[in-house]
């Protein structure tokens, strides 16, 4: 692992690091905020998954989460959204495919299958690296994210409830099989097999096997992507059918931006701290 940068922040350290990912077959970057409490021993760890076009930097710089994380003693982990490098396949001119749009799945179709393995990277390789290199409590781990990253957070939690024990999302793509963003990505990355799509569809996953966690979702009521791409009502309906604990908050006047995320990120950090504190 290579250190790219480290700065003192609210008594802790905000760092950016790089390593060679065997899973993705390329160099991957991620950010870690280590709170001051880590000087005394392992601390709960919370992984944030960013949305389309983003890198590890967006959350670190724009969300304003470090102050509250330092107060609560939470480690914040912010990975990149996709593999990078000259030999990594890309979709020129498409913001919703290729680099910056990994969709947190393991691609099976060419030319994507070689590098686009973000599901396994987030679910397996990155947690192992964090456990080896940082003072993270491996029992008390949560996950959250925004938009495409909200999709990733929900699906990775639902597929790995024993690893990521708490979960929340900002404006997640909850039913990618039923919306244009997801349909485009899934057809390219996974081919036309419906069962492969449903394995990364939070609405289908929760309907098949609900989680014991209480899920928090914040959604801007004035989000420009709400009706066509996000459709939180589909996830809510599935949760109601199977008894999944869900708090869905529609926030009047808020859009899809990091201004929305920065407004409610404190609520999410406190939510995760409380949920992980029960373990």
pLDDT at res. 130: 98
Establish whether 256 is a catalytic residue.
yes
User: Phi, psi at residue 195, to the nearest 5°?
Assistant: -65, -30
Establish whether 82 is a catalytic residue.
no
**One of 21, 82, 147, 168 is an active-site residue; which one?**
147
Q: Is the pLDDT of residue 279 over 90?
A: no
Domain total for the chain? 1
**One of 21, 218, 223, 268 is an active-site residue; which one?**
223
Q: Which tens digits make up the pLDDT trace of 223-270?
A: 999 999 999 999 999 999 999 999 999 999 999 999 999 999 999 999
Cis peptide before 71 (omega within 30 of 0): no
Report the CATH number that the domain containing residue 153 is assigned in CATH.
Answer: 3.40.50.1820
Q: Give the confidence band of 278 by pLDDT, cuts at 50, 70, 90.
A: confident
Tokens of 103: 């969709």
Residues in the chain: 279
For the CA atoms of 145, 164, 128, 73, the dihedral, rounded to the nearest 10 degrees, stands at 80
d(C-alpha 30, C-alpha 22), whole Å: 15
Tokens of 150: 């909200």
Residue among 75, 76, 78 nearest 38 (CA): 75
Q: State mean pLDDT over 175-192.
A: 97
What is the span of the domain harbouring residue 148? 2-277
């Amino acid at each position: 692992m290579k250190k790219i940068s480290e700065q003192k922040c609210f008594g802790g350290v905000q760092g950016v690091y790089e390593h060679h990912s065997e899973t993705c077959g390329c160099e991957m970057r991620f950010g870690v905020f280590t709170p001051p409490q880590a000087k005394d021993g392992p601390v709960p760890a919370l992984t944030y998954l960013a949305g389309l076009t983003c890198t590890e930097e967006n959350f670190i710089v724009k969300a304003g989460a470090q102050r509250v994380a330092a107060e609560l003693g939470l480690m914040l982990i912010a990975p990149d959204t996709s593999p990078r490098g000259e030999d990594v396949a890309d979709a020129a001119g498409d913001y919703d495919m290729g680099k910056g749009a990994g969709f947190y799945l393991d691609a099976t179709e060419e030319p994507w299958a070689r590098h686009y393995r973000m599901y396994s990277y987030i679910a397996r390789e990155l947690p192992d690296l964090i456990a080896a290199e940082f003072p993270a409590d491996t029992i008390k781990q949560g996950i959250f994210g925004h938009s495409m990253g909200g999709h990733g957070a929900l699906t990775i939690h639902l597929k790995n409830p024993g690893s990521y024990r708490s979960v929340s999302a900002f404006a997640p793509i909850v039913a990618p099989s039923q919306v244009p963003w997801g349909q485009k990505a899934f057809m390219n990355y996974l081919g036309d097999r419906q069962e492969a799509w449903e394995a990364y569809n939070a609405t289908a996953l929760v309907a098949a096997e609900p989680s014991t966690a209480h899920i928090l979702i914040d959604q801007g009521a004035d989000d420009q992507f709400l009706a066509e791409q996000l459709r939180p009502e589909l996830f809510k309906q599935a949760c109601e059918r199977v008894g999944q604990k869900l708090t869905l908050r529609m926030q009047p006047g808020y859009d899809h931006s990091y201004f929305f995320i920065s407004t409610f990120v404190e609520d999410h950090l406190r939510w995760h701290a409380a949920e992980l504190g029960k373990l």
